[in-house]
Chain A
Amino acid sequence: KQEVTQIPAALSVPEGENLVLNCSFTDSAIYNLQWFRQDPGKGLTSLLLIQSSQREQTSGRLNASLDKSSGRSTLYIAASQPGDSATYLCAALYAGGTSYGKLTFGQGTILTVHP
């Protein structure tokens, strides 16, 4: 069964701190790995997408890495700000059969950055 797990479930940090969110997936036959942000009562916003052939992607203060062999991805947020407070979701896109094209999501990490 294809599963995605995120640790920790919740994280609270002071403003300015660098932090790492973790994601693990059970099947290495992924097509890509995506990180999303969800604000309370809102939809999902795509942050970064890493293709299976890539090792990392960067956007501003965000850096996502992918290690297929160990089944792990990390999202690194530098110099965190209160505006970064949200739920961060990791999702794996699996290839093959009826899995082709659909995302499997982790449960998310609720991040709170306090001033």
Chain B
Amino acid sequence: IAGITQAPTSQILAAGRRMTLRCTQDMRHNAMYWYRQDLGLGLRLIHYSNTAGTTGKGEVPDGYSVSRANTDDFPLTLASAVPSQTSVYFCASSGGDGRNEQFFGPGTRLTVL
């Protein structure tokens, strides 16, 4: 089934621990994105990648890093988690090159204690 998968579905993490959220798409989309969604704040862009091998910072990048080694995968890493990173994280992708519709994964619910 074509689409975006995210793992884990949910996670409880101790503050200070390192965590990588995984995102994989099978639509051969060039562009991928990571958002966080918080009550009252909507979806905010963390990092993005317009094509494999390139990444860029979004609105709220501090405390997060990404890599894009290939077209399909776009992991998000929290090097040292803090409670303010408790959120729901969504990965999205779009075709790029003028194909702007973004398609979202099911999300990862992360709690940092």
A binds B: no
A contact residues vs B (CB 8 Å cutoff): none
